[in-house]
Amino acid sequence: MHERLSIPYRLAAGAAALAFCVSAGAAQRNVLVSIENLASTNSISFAPLHVAFNSGSYDAFNEAAAAGPAIISVAELGAGSEWQSAFAMADPTAVRGVIDAPFPLLPGASGSKLFSLIDTTLNPFFTFAAMLLPSNDHFIGNDSPKQYRLFDAAGNLAITSITLMASEIWDAGSEAFDAARAAFVAGSDASLRNGGDGNVRFDFAGLAAFDGEDTPAYTFTSGLGANSEVYRISFAAVPEPESLALMLPGLLALGWVGRRRRKESAEGADLALATA
């Protein structure tokens, strides 16, 4: 009897353990972050996206204020090294990273990256920043560090995507327009900085100044209106908690079927012996 029931019982025990892990692990999530360039053909491209799952304590920039070194490191050349280091110092428990493939993110292109073991209690918020191409110092990013609460109190995704419009494109104000010193313009030298032209502000219209400029991939045409969708960030828990929960009844059913078959087999053997 013990041998006949051992496998089904093991399956049931495994299912119970799985259910417990789903419950106990609710504070941690693996999240697949996907990015899409929604801009029209020959319009804006993007440098790598800097991201952080965080506590909401670090504010990289503010509208109408002068841009600091952290956001300038994203907005001017896209590398974002100072953004990353400043974030690490201000919020050491944050889970940070860069989605850098494909680079550049051309119109219509997409990419993704998996971020593991995110503590949803410590880091319920999502922060991001990326340079626009071509530009001197245009970028996307969230001004308020608590603008996007990604996880609810139970550790589940509170939002599944962020879609940005052209009206949400920022000008860092750290460089004036100069195609000869802009990033992603053929023949330019983006390392040659020029003077700033103001504080951080919304500005997509200024990108039309690059119309007709050749980039390494195409001849640029902005084509942007205030309501043009330009960028989407999507989130998916991996694996989905619902998928794990659905496995539980299946494992229990498998254990029941195994037990029934063994019982029928044993009864058949007993009958054969009795009639032999």
One-character DSSP codes across 35-92:
EEE-SPTTS-EE-PEEEEEE-S------TTS---HHHHHHHTTS--HHHHHHHHHH-T
Residues 76 and 172: beta-carbon distance below 8 Å: yes
Q: Identify whether residues 134 and 200 lie together within a single domain.
A: yes
**Mean pLDDT rounded to a whole number for the chain:** 87
Closest CA to 169 of 17, 44, 265, 269: 44
Two structure tokens written together for 256:
């029941």
Q: Identify whether residues 9 and 34 lie together within a single domain.
A: no
Q: Identify whether residues 8 and 32 lie together within a single domain.
A: no
Q: Identify whether residues 178 and 267 lie together within a single domain.
A: no
pLDDT band at 207 (very low <50, low <70, confident <90, very high): very high
Residue 153, pLDDT score: 96
The lowest-confidence range among 79-93, 109-123, 140-154, 252-266 is 252-266
Residue 10, pLDDT score: 54
- Domain CATH code at residue 85: 2.60.40.2130
Q: Identify whether residues 76 and 191 lie together within a single domain.
A: yes
Q: Identify whether residues 90 and 165 lie together within a single domain.
A: yes
Q: Identify whether residues 182 and 256 lie together within a single domain.
A: no
- Domain, as residue range, for 267: 2-20+251-275
CA 203 to chain centre: 24
Q: Identify whether residues 65 and 193 lie together within a single domain.
A: yes
Q: Identify whether residues 78 and 142 lie together within a single domain.
A: yes
Q: Identify whether residues 39 and 155 lie together within a single domain.
A: yes
For 45-89, the pLDDT digits (tens) are: 999 999 999 999 999 999 999 999 999 999 999 999 999 999 999
Q: Identify whether residues 255 and 234 lie together within a single domain.
A: no
Give the contacts of 247 (CB within 8 A, at least 6 positions apart): 15, 18
Give mean pLDDT, residues 139-164: 98
The lowest-confidence range among 49-63, 131-145, 190-204 is 190-204
Give the contacts of 24 (CB within 8 A, at least 6 positions apart): none
Residue 16, pLDDT score: 47
Closest CA to 86 of 54, 41, 113: 54
User: How far from each other are the two terminal CA atoms of the chain, in whole angstroms?
Assistant: 24
pLDDT band at 90 (very low <50, low <70, confident <90, very high): very high
Q: Identify whether residues 270 and 232 lie together within a single domain.
A: no
Q: How many domains does the chain contain in total? A: 2
